[in-house]
Amino acid sequence: MTTTATLTGFQPTGHLHLGNLLGAVRPVVAAQRRTRPVTFVADLHAMTMPHDPGELRQLTLEVATLLLAAGVDPDRSLFYLQSQVPEHTELHYLLECATRYGEAHRMIQFKERGRGRSTRLSLLTYPVLMAADILLHDTAEVPVGDDQRQHVELARDVATRFNTHYGQTFVVPRAVKPEVAARVMDLSDPSAKMSKSRGAAGTLFVLDPPEVIERKVMRAVTDSGDTVSYEPDARPGVANLLEILAGCAGGSPAALASGFTSYGALKRAAAEAVVATVRPVQARFTELSRDPGYVRRVLADGAERAREVTADTVHRARKAVGLIA
């Protein structure tokens, strides 16, 4: 059994944003120099909430194209579309048979996102699909933020139970702190993570035109102070701008702070750095978008290569539970 260093899924539930770029795409691109990370567009995960089929199709292609434009290299990454690798759903079912209802029901995200809606059953079982994503690739360590830690714990419990009942089948994964904890916060509400689903005013999308980026950054929420200092707890808005600047232009947020005497100057520098970071990605995206057939071929090829690994894992699991001799 091999172990992979990085496994990252991108849900096509909206447009990719700066948080995705700095917090997830960049680590994948860095990991490509040392290992062969697994990078997939998690289209099945995008179906746990009400969705529009046409939009899902369009966003899936957009996210895949953007990942390639941002440096995911299909020769150095195992890059594919989750739904094109049927082992994800097959293992999902096998793992459901080793998961207790109460375990899934306890997940905080289910409680938060399922509240007051006509909840899809897949929202309850999605952490089991995530467990399948992880276990399929014999992933030993999963770098995750606090919000996903509970799901990795579930994957760990289910893998351990499966191994105990049916014999050693899966590598038991461990949640680890990401090496560089780039976490980009929402510009309008710096207490919340920048995300695809929050209001567009606080989210910098990778495909936003320069003037939109400038406008959003200039309107970012700061505080009533008038000096620039890096104090994430006391001054989260200013700290976020400094982190964004550091993430895009280099340097440390604390050291950068001393170079500014006003919020306006900091915002202008941050906006400029974001524009400089996304510009080449946007240019490459435009190029790649001229030939969607190319992106589809890359994904199909990636799925085929992924199946060389995932088919083996599912074979082990099927054998262990008694489906095949």
Residue type, 272: E
Residue number of the CB closest to ligand AMP reads 23
Q: 118: which 2 tokens? A: 């006509």
Identify the residue whose tokens are 């899934």: 104
Q: Determine the Cα–Cα distance for residues 208 and 282; give it in Å rounded to an integer.
A: 9
Near ligand AMP by CB under 6 A: residue from 23, 190, 202, 302 = 23
Near ligand AMP by CB under 6 A: residue from 4, 6, 11, 310 = 11
> Is residue 182 close enough to count as binding ligand AMP by CB under 6 A?
yes
> Is residue 193 close enough to count as binding ligand AMP by CB under 6 A?
yes
Q: Determine the Cα–Cα distance for residues 126 and 104; give it in Å rounded to an integer.
A: 9
Q: 121: which 2 tokens? A: 């059953």
Identify the residue whose tokens are 């938060």: 112
**Would you give the end-to-end CA distance of the chain in angstroms?**
21
Cβ neighbours of residue 227 under 8 Å, at least 6 residues apart?
261
2: number of Cβ within 10 Å: 10
Measure the CA angle with vertex 144, ends 111 and 244; round to 5°.
105
- Residue span binding ligand AMP (CB under 6 A) among the ranges 17-25, 257-265, 290-298, 300-308: 17-25
* Least separation in angstroms between CB 324 and ligand AMP: 34
Q: 307: which 2 tokens? A: 């199946």
Q: Which residues pair with 79 in a beta bridge?
A: 39
325: number of Cβ within 10 Å: 4
> Is residue 216 close enough to count as binding ligand AMP by CB under 6 A?
no
Near ligand AMP by CB under 6 A: residue from 122, 150, 163, 195 = 195
- Residue span binding ligand AMP (CB under 6 A) among the ranges 20-28, 71-79, 245-253, 262-270: 20-28
Write the binding mask 24 to 63 for ligand AMP: x where contact by CB under 6 A, - elsewhere.
x---------------------------------------
Q: Which is nearer to ligand AMP, 185 or 320 (CB)?
A: 185
- Residue span binding ligand AMP (CB under 6 A) among the ranges 19-27, 158-166, 238-246, 286-294: 19-27
* Least separation in angstroms between CB 62 and ligand AMP: 13
- Site residues (CB under 6 A) for ligand AMP? 8, 10-11, 19-20, 23-24, 145, 182-184, 193-196
